[in-house]
Chain A
């Protein structure tokens, strides 16, 4: 079966062409919008509407500069950051122990639990938004940073649990057992042996939770008025803004997410069961 390991490009010429064509289309599908977004973000306001784009765009940072100084952007960015960090803490705080338990213990309903964790993503957020908003107003969580963080943590949770499950499963249980026989209790063995080994992956899953929160717009837009996160703020304020400012805002929004996802791509592949090569 060694031929399979080398990749899917096997068999006839037709298959190879199909494979390459699919790859190219998929890449363009993702890259062209990102390219246009960034080119327009660094173009002057008059260049934004021209097409085709000049081969070497004239770099004009005026839109970006204007956007950065736009009133409310700084505050919304700060809110976004706080919400994303809180999301990260909640998601890992619950996801890591859950992942550890799934990988180390056998308990009744284990597979059902794994399925249910994924099912939390089966309900579309718009469906939940109204009851959630009412609930939040009743308990006083509406329009708070913590309130959105809780919703975002819920969205990030399935990924946090499953990534952590595969992380801990990748650590042989014998390493822990060896630590126990060498004088550790369960917690010491975890801290001295398991934690150092999962730390890179744990960081990656934390960043992933961060990105999910950073990009989320719907819940943030529905549940907040004063404490808008950046995406919600942009949705509201840039709706009527000129085109070049929209591009600048979009670029600012995409950049951190792209950067972080790129940094943790190895662990995301691991989660989906694709070997990292």
Chain B
């Protein structure tokens, strides 16, 4: 049982506030991804849970123990680092056995665990090698095996795949997900790669400037961004935003067209729609096509609507050319609205 409770955790580096009163609860055996651009505080938060960084304020509980005053070794965690941190002076076997030897386990138990985790990560033929003789992907596997061999309550991963090439990353992503699902550990996984986050996470916590902006299951984050930032960060390409001004209660003027929207008494809102939630043909929005990107499965159109960049995803068979003017019809149930002052979503 290893629920992680992060309570009002804040971190200051000199005058900069890296984290501002973070509250986050991660359920036992949950796979939580901290997602955000670099400098948003996600790695700092992970390192505070690991005990490699001390929080300026707040508490961290793992299971029913308060751990924020404990050294890393007393927290029941294992960590996988971005640059692998495989000990270069030890063989793969000794790397995986390192923590087990520190825990003074019997040699037979160590041997059993090393062999089991090495087989799990498919590095059993490499046990006698040194890290200098391994590729980046193999080193990453050693680092993961080393963490799993500890049989920790919590595994912390700090951008573990970001140093791998694209193909390897995709392969490791699927493998990590299944291995961790079977290991019964609670996982916190830090990444800036939204595909990684979407594909692996049970829940994603999106971070920006030391805050958690939204924490929810991947689909919900994609469909219903809680804030302007989330919509503009998640999705490739991200959401389109247009300025909307109030005409009447529930009626909003967007790029010359009148659309029905939330009954807010604000004078201005931001209209948002994902590029794939738009049909071309009859519609209220007039778009001028500036650029075509045929991507095979679909074609990405970079347009201008109301002098704002606006992207549309259409079927690759659609015949469009640069300079065309299209009529766009945003799917009504996929339109989202944001308050430009608070940046938060406004329910429609």
Contacts and interface: CB of A to CB of B under 8 A. Distances in A.
Interface in B293-345: none
Interface residues of A, number: 17
Interface in A166-183: 172, 174-175, 177-183
Nearest to B103: A183
Contact of A196 (B72, B89, B150): B89
Interface stretch (B73-81, B162-170, B221-229, B249-257): B73-81
A264 interface: no
A49 interface: no
Given A172-B83, A177-B79, A182 B150 contact: yes
A184 interface: yes
A177 B156 CA distance: 13
A178 B85 contact: yes
Nearest to A183: B102
Given A184-B73, A185-B71, A172 B89 contact: no
Interface in B87-144: 87-89, 98-99, 102-103, 143
B105 to A, nearest CB: 11
A70 to B, nearest CB: 47
Interface residues of B, number: 24
A185 B85 contact: no
A196 B94 CA distance: 14
Given A177-B52, A177-B79, A188-B102, A183 B85 contact: no
A238 to B, nearest CB: 47
B72 A180 contact: yes
A179 B102 CA distance: 9
A193 interface: yes
Contacts of A180: 51-52, 71-73
B103 A181 contact: no
A181 B88 contact: no
Nearest to A171: B88
B11 interface: no
A192 B97 CA distance: 13
A243 interface: no
A172 B99 CA distance: 19
A185 B98 CA distance: 13
Nearest to B143: A178
B50 interface: yes
Contacts of B146: 178, 182
A172, A183, A184 pick with most chain B CB within 10 angstroms: A183
B234 to A, nearest CB: 29
A178 B79 contact: yes
Contacts of A235: none
A130 to B, nearest CB: 47
Nearest to A199: B89
A89 interface: no
B148 to A, nearest CB: 12
Given A188-B102, A197-B88, A197-B89, A183 B83 contact: no
Interface string B219-258: 0000000000000000000000000000000000000000
Given A182-B73, A182-B146, A177 B81 contact: yes
Nearest to B158: A174
A181 B89 contact: no
B79 A181 contact: yes
B14 to A, nearest CB: 10
A77 B73 CA distance: 50
Contacts of A188: 102
A88 B329 CA distance: 80
Given A183-B102, A193-B87, A197-B88, A178 B73 contact: no
Contacts of A196: 89
Instruction: Please name the 4 residue pairs, one residue from A and one from B, whose CB atoms are nearest each other, closest first.
Output: A183-B102, A182-B99, A178-B85, A174-B85
Interface of B: 50-52, 71-73, 77-79, 81-83, 85, 87-89, 98-99, 102-103, 143, 146, 150, 156
Given A180-B71, A192-B98, 14 more contacts: A174-B85, A175-B85, A175-B88, A177-B81, A178-B146, A180-B72, A181-B50, A181-B52, A181-B79, A182-B99, A182-B150, A183-B73, A183-B103, A184-B73
